[in-house]
Structure 1
Amino acid sequence: MTQIPTVRFGLRILVLCTMVMLSCHGGIAADKPQPDAQLQKLLKRFPAADKNKDGILTRTEAREYRDKIRGSQAKAVKPTYADVKYGDHPRNVLDFYQAKSDKPTPLVIYIHGGGFVGGSKRIHPRQLQLFLDAGMSVAAIHYRFIDGKNVLLPEPQRDGARAVQFLRSKAQEWNIDPKRVACYGGSAGAGISMWIGFHDDLADPNSDDPVKRQSTRIQAIGTMGGQSTYDPIKIKALVGGRAWEHRSIFKAYGVTTAKEALNPTPEQQKRYDESSAITHLTKDDPPLYMIYSEADGPLPENARPGQGIHHPNFGRDLVKKMNELQIENVFVYTPKAKGRDPNREMLEFFQKQFAKAK
């Protein structure tokens, strides 16, 4: 459950810069349209770089586009409120970015990945800007890390749910529309997002804590490389190989051997079920947009422990179950998504669900 970056942007920019440097070698005028094969290949990946929309990417256009992207990456947006405590644990903190609006805004909550043992609430600047430009406020949270003893699954999921409740309690003060909330993240953050979305409402209307009285139900979910289950027995059947032997799976439940993991006590099986999003799935749950990019197909015989923990089969299993329950879902496998921008599509998916919730 290593962290999945929200946008594979750094690599693309590296490719762009490399191609620009290569294309600038030689004595041809930089601003004269040239049907250079490398540049035209680049144009197919970055159509917005064609400034005059003539169908030919020049070196000047490529350089300008590169500089524009570099500039947008450099403009890190500062949180409106940083490291706000939403719970008692030191890692129960979040950053909040307020979208400019006279009316209450939808809220998108980013939950980072990292195998439940690492990662940061630092959200990718481009992804953040996409949401803010669309009039959506954004929160990014930290949560407790598992330690194999005192903090096990599903405590990080419960932290995520608590963050949703806390943010709803701030609706009036922070200009949030509590009826339009989405969660998204990669890997462990995806699992937490789905758990929040599929789990029954954890609101306690009789609690002395006003935060706990708030609903945990959300209107949309977005995931990158998400695991639908954290039950090692089900992962072994669903993905095969040694994906189920991921070190975080063992640490998540305080087990040390494969025998323990695959032969759980009734109490341990209950924890497996409670920690896995798909076991909570019911027909009234919110729509899901999911992105997968890990290698598809059967895992090799010499697969290492944990290999395949972001396998597309997790998503396919979700598609099957959600289709049976007639819940809207979108499955995107990025190697087959040429010419698409899955992250912008996720934004548009959220907009669609928020429009329904008005």
Structure 2
Amino acid sequence: MLVDESLAALRRLDWRITPESRAAHRALFTPLHETHGYRAPVVHRDLAYGDDARQRLDVHTAPGAAGRPVLVFLHGGGFTAGDKTLPGTPFYDNVGGWATGNDVVAVTMTYRLAPEHPWPSGAQDVAAAVAWIREHIAGHGGDPDRIVLMGHSAGGTHVAGYLAGQAGTAATGVIAAVLLSAFFDPAPVQHQAPMRAYFGEDPDRYPMQSAVAGLVGSDVPLLVAVAERDLPDCHGQAVALLDAMLAHRASMPLFVTIPDHTHLSEIQSLGLDDEAFGAALARFIRRA
């Protein structure tokens, strides 16, 4: 867990996403990760799962690993930016380091960006990556029949779209999914320019593009999570999804509110503040 001084600094961070807030988050967590150590013992970089330059992934594993569950992580970035590694920072190699420390093989992946690649390109890229992983991950110590997807923010939206069938394929080999501060229905958040860049400007299409009905009908176990000091729209999207599931299903997905954290810090702190989210994530993967 974070020591008192770091936890106090976390609580002072601005929850809003601004250049200043991003810089403050990086300034807090980068040296903590560097002191603690954050990389997996073995990382295979920039493996192609498609023809586009953005369709690349990294595999994080350990020597001698065999038959381990596989955690596939999709970064955020407002649909128009972001990457599987951010130069000069531990992000998101920290996801790979956390995974290998919990006897899990991790895959961190990039995907094509809006507006050049609008909806449903994200779900299609998830499908392409899953197909690559099922074919190749055994050679890196992973079990192709035990894939857990995890997406943060826009990445979570792409995971949700894939589970909802928006890629045109079934979620084969995926045993569970983690939706971390994701967006499921574009209609309530159409005021955000990044949403319109990905989903388009036509509100008449938004009901068809929503992943809510597909998630309600999916039998893939879910962990839905938001940060305590998350973006208000993320709180609203999570509540709406849980409300829809409560109305149509006999059981609810697991839901976690990550204490003290912001939209950025909830994933940047993985491997440092596992009491807040990492422990629940590890337990969810073991259950799956």
Is the counterpart of residue 107 in structure 1 residue 70 in structure 2? yes
Q: What amino acid is aligned across from residue 112 of structure 2 in structure 1?
A: R
Is the counterpart of residue 165 in structure 1 residue 131 in structure 2? yes
Is the counterpart of residue 197 in structure 1 residue 121 in structure 2? no
SS at match of 1:320: helix
From the superposition, tell whether residues 295 and 203 of structure 1 become closer, same or farther in structure 2 (CA, over 3 Å): closer
Instruction: Report what 1:279 is aligned to.
Output: 213
Instruction: Report what 1:76 is aligned to.
Output: 39
SS at match of 1:348: helix
Structure-to-structure mapping, 1:173-192, within 5 angstroms: 173-192=139-158
Instruction: Report what 1:225 is aligned to.
Output: 181
Unaligned runs of 5+ in 2: 10-30, 86-90, 262-273
After TM superposition, give the deviation of residue 284 of structure 1 in Å: 4.3
Equivalent residues of 1:197, 1:218 under 8 A apart: no
After TM superposition, give the deviation of residue 102 of structure 1 in Å: 5.2
Q: Which has the larger radius of gyration?
A: 1
Equivalent residues of 1:110, 1:185 under 8 A apart: yes
Instruction: Report what 1:342 is aligned to.
Output: 277
Using the size of structure 1 for normalisation, the TM-score is 0.61
Question: Cα RMSD over matched residues?
Answer: 3.3
Equivalent residues of 1:99, 1:105 under 8 A apart: no
Equivalent residues of 2:80, 2:197 under 8 A apart: no
Unaligned runs of 5+ in 1: 1-8, 20-66, 205-214, 236-242, 256-260, 297-306, 354-358
From the superposition, tell whether residues 177 and 221 of structure 1 become closer, same or farther in structure 2 (CA, over 3 Å): same
Instruction: Flag the structure with higher strand content.
Output: 2
Find the aligned partners of 1:102 and 1:127 in 2 and give their Cα distance.
Answer: 17
Structure-to-structure mapping, 1:1-358, within 5 angstroms: 15-16=5-6, 70-73=34-37, 75-77=38-40, 80-101=43-64, 103-122=66-85, 123-147=91-115, 150-199=116-165, 202-203=168-169, 216-230=172-186, 232=187, 235=188, 243-255=189-201, 261-262=202-203, 264=204, 269=205, 272-293=206-227, 308-310=232-234, 312-323=235-246, 324-335=248-259, 340-353=275-288
Q: What amino acid is aligned across from residue 114 of structure 2 in structure 1?
A: I
Q: What amino acid is aligned across from residue 147 of structure 2 in structure 1?
A: V
Higher relative contact order (CA 8 A, sep 6+): 2
SS at match of 1:158: helix
After TM superposition, give the deviation of residue 112 of structure 1 in Å: 0.3
Q: How many residues align?
A: 250
Find the aligned partners of 1:135 and 1:340 in 2 and give their Cα distance.
Answer: 18
Find the aligned partners of 1:174 and 1:274 in 2 and give their Cα distance.
Answer: 38
Equivalent residues of 2:40, 2:61 under 8 A apart: no
From the superposition, tell whether residues 151 and 103 of structure 1 become closer, same or farther in structure 2 (CA, over 3 Å): closer
After TM superposition, give the deviation of residue 78 of structure 1 in Å: 6.5
Equivalent residues of 1:196, 1:217 under 8 A apart: no
